[in-house]
């Protein structure tokens, strides 16, 4: 009998290939979404890979670099923590976000959506005042705790830093607007101060500037295109949603007579 010279193929080779392909795809989706987006449209721009990695590295480095020294040199005013309260007793800022989410009335009373509802964009169950879905939670209290923790450890310090960098005055309203976007889509919130300054430089102020910046947050600088869920891709849908949320925030803050000046 003639013996074959072929080397038996290990079943692990195929498994390894599939795993490598999956990990590679996941890497591109996280660090280079601009490359994936253009590739799906039929255009391959390899330069977007290095650009995407560099951009995400700078964002993470800017946010996480020397966290201890940031808190040492930038005392977070107590009023900012009081503005949002705690999970057990939500402050006006958290209630304003809940009002924008439709989970709380402007006075802070829970609606049916507070206890659990499906996100219309991705059909994931949301819970709590901030419609938490970023990680698994069993109760609405746990959802509120995670949302408050994200606001106080991520949104507040980053917003203070970014507004200082742009030379803008941070008010209670703008802080809540920033954290509302942060809860909705953290990636969209990182340029809120920059976008607000650009909108004001074009002659837009007050409510118009806030809406302008909120909408501009969802434009990918690398592609110049909006990156939003399918339900907001219809003409005017994103603007209408952002205007609705901003108006709901203003109503709740006005109800609680929250001073604009942060002490």
pLDDT tens digits along 91-149 = 999 999 999 999 999 999 999 999 987 776 566 788 999 999 878 889 999 999 999 99
Please tell me the predicted confidence (pLDDT) of residue 73: 42
Q: Is 76's pLDDT higher than 60?
A: yes
What is residue 188's predicted lDDT score, i.e. its pLDDT?
Answer: 84
Domain definitions of the chain by residue range: 15-64, 77-255
Using CA atoms, how far apart are residues 181 and 188, in angstroms rounded to an integer?
Answer: 7
Across the range 55-69, mean pLDDT stands at 46
- Give the pLDDT of residue 82: 93
Q: What is the mean pLDDT of residues 186-215?
A: 94
Contacts of 67 (CB under 8 A, 6+ apart): none
Give the CA distances from residue 160 to residues 132, 175, 184, in Å, rounded to whole numbers and listed in that order: 23, 8, 19
What pLDDT, on a 0 to 100 scale, did the predictor assign at position 218? 83
Which residue, 191, 199, 249, 247, is CA-closest to 222? 191
Q: What is the mean pLDDT of the chain?
A: 80
- Residue 59's pLDDT is 52
Q: Please work out, in degrees rounded to the nearest 5, the angle formed at the alpha carbon of residue 163 by the alpha carbons of 201 and 69.
A: 155
- 3 state SS of 57: helix
Provide the pLDDT for residue 115.
93
Query: What is the average pLDDT across 181-208?
Result: 93
Q: Among residues 162, 143, 147, which one has the least CA distance to residue 94? A: 147
In this predicted structure, the answer to whether residue 62 has a pLDDT above a threshold of 50 is no
Predicted confidence band of residue 27 (pLDDT cuts 50, 70, 90): low
Per-residue b or e along 137-172, where b marks 16 or more CB atoms closer than 10 Å to that residue's CB: beebebbbbbbbebbbebbbbbbbebbeebebebeb
Using the predicted structure, report yes or no on whether residue 47 has a pLDDT greater than 80.
Answer: no
Q: pLDDT class for 166, splitting at 50, 70, 90? A: very high
pTM of the model: 0.70
- Dist. CA 198–CA 262, nearest whole Å: 23
Q: Determine the length of the chain.
A: 263
Give per-residue pLDDT as tens, 206-259.
Answer: 999 999 999 999 887 667 776 755 555 677 788 999 999 999 999 999 999 999
Question: What integer pLDDT is reported at residue 3 of this predicted model?
Answer: 47
**Spatial distance between the Cα atoms of 22 and 11, rounded to a whole number of angstroms:** 17
Percent with pLDDT over 90 in the chain: 49
Cα separation, 127 vs 103, whole angstroms = 9
pLDDT at 9 over 90: no
Confidence band (pLDDT; 50, 70, 90) for 41? low
At 26 the pLDDT is 54
């Amino acid at each position: 009998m003639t013996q074959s010279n072929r080397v038996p193929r290990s079943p692990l080779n195929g498994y390894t290939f599939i795993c490598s392909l999956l990990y590679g795809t996941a890497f591109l989706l996280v660090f280079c979404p601009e490359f994936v987006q253009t590739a799906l449209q039929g255009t391959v721009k390899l330069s977007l890979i290095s650009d995407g990695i560099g951009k995400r590295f700078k964002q993470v480095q800017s946010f996480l670099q020397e966290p201890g020294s940031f808190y040492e040199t930038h005392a977070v005013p107590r009023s900012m923590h009081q503005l949002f309260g705690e999970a057990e007793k939500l402050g006006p800022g958290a209630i304003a976000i809940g009002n924008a989410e439709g989970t709380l009335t402007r006075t802070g009373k829970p609606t049916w959506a507070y206890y659990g509802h499906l996100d219309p964009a991705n059909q994931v169950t949301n819970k709590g005042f901030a419609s938490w879905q970023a990680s698994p939670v069993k109760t609405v209290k746990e959802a509120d705790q995670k949302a408050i923790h994200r606001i106080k450890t991520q949104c507040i310090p980053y917003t203070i830093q970014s507004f200082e960098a742009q030379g803008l005055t941070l008010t209670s309203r703008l802080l809540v607007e920033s954290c509302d976007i942060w809860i909705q889509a953290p990636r969209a919130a990182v340029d809120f101060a920059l976008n607000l300054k650009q909108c004001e430089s074009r002659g837009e102020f007050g409510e118009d500037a806030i809406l302008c910046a909120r909408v501009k947050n969802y434009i990918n600088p690398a592609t110049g295109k909006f990156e939003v869920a399918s339900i907001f891709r219809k003409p005017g849908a994103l603007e209408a949603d952002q205007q609705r949320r901003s108006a709901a925030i203003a109503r709740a803050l006005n109800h609680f007579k929250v001073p604009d000046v942060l002490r």
